């Protein structure tokens, strides 16, 4: 087996190990699963973005953002929020690890669902202990998951229910506070995490 063939099999194995370690850390801290609440499905019509952050890893080739029907919400009502990944260049991915952060005292999250464009996540959870929504994907196809320039992929959809008037934010964990929960996208065949930009969501609650 030459070096090229060796790397072909080794790099996906390394990605699997990284995802398994993340699953163990999240599961160990979670004592109970999130109870789901019913939701009236509404069409996602607005891409809601606020202050953009770029992880210090070079020129971003991907962009993470939220989409929701409204950035103005009412306490006690259910709203659907979608997490989208947009390609800023042609990229191919071997694995995707997404950690959405939220304040459980300000908003309740439930009804976690996924699009059919990606394989089923190897791990997904609404974690009240870590104040995160987790979705980890592993692409087993040899060619990886291809995203052409400007392609938008839905990574997950969930329901939010504001618990109090004021405001709340939804963001992404990048390892600045918790090194065990890091949003990342690994390029196909390289084993390298690709740089990406982040657009958090700020919601005003009546």
CA distances from 22 to 18, 28, 113, 151 (A): 6, 10, 20, 27
Dihedral pair phi/psi, residue 142, rounded to 5°: -60, -30
Alpha-carbon gap, residue 99 to 107, rounded angstroms: 16
Q: Write down the pLDDT at residue 5.
A: 53
Question: Which tokens is 197 given?
Answer: 């930009």
Find tokens 């999130």 and name the residue: 34
Q: What is the dihedral of CA 57, 63, 69, 71, to 10 degrees?
A: 30
DSSP string, 56-100: SSSS-SEEEEEEES-SEE-TT--EEEEEEEEESS-EEEEEEEEEE
Q: Write down the pLDDT at residue 19.
A: 54
Alpha-carbon gap, residue 92 to 101, rounded angstroms: 26
Residue 24: CB atoms within 10 A of its CB come to 12
Q: Write down the pLDDT at residue 153.
A: 98
Of the candidates 192, 155, 185, the one whose C-alpha atom is nearest the C-alpha of residue 170 is 155
Q: Write down the pLDDT at residue 41.
A: 39
Alpha-carbon gap, residue 74 to 72, rounded angstroms: 7
Alpha-carbon gap, residue 18 to 13, rounded angstroms: 9
Q: Write down the pLDDT at residue 55.
A: 52
Alpha-carbon gap, residue 169 to 79, rounded angstroms: 14
Domain 3-205 in CATH 2.60.40.680: yes
**Per-residue model confidence as pLDDT tens for the chain (206 residues):** 554 454 455 455 545 444 555 554 454 544 444 443 443 433 333 334 333 444 545 899 999 999 999 999 999 999 999 999 999 999 999 999 999 999 999 999 999 999 999 999 999 999 988 899 999 999 998 899 999 999 999 999 999 999 999 999 999 999 887 788 999 999 999 899 999 999 999 999 99
């Amino acid at each position: 087996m030459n070096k090229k063939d060796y790397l072909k099999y080794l790099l996906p194995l390394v990605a699997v190990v990284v995802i398994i370690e993340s699953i163990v850390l999240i599961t160990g801290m979670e004592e109970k699963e999130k109870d789901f609440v019913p939701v009236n499905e509404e069409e996602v019509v607005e891409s809601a973005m606020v202050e953009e952050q770029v992880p210090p890893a070079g020129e971003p080739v991907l962009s993470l953002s939220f989409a929701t029907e409204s950035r103005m919400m009412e306490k006690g009502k259910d709203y659907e929020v979608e997490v989208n990944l947009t390609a800023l260049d042609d990229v191919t991915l071997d694995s995707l690890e997404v950690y959405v952060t939220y304040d459980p005292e300000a908003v309740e999250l439930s009804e976690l669902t996924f699009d059919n464009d990606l394989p089923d996540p190897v791990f997904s959870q609404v974690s009240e202990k870590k104040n995160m929504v987790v979705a980890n994907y592993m692409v087993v196809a040899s060619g990886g998951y291809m995203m052409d320039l400007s392609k938008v992929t839905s990574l997950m959809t969930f329901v939010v229910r504001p618990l109090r008037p004021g405001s709340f934010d939804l963001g992404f964990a990048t390892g600045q506070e918790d090194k065990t929960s890091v949003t990342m996208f690994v390029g196909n065949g390289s084993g390298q995490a690709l740089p990406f930009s982040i657009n958090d969501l700020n919601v005003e609650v009546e």
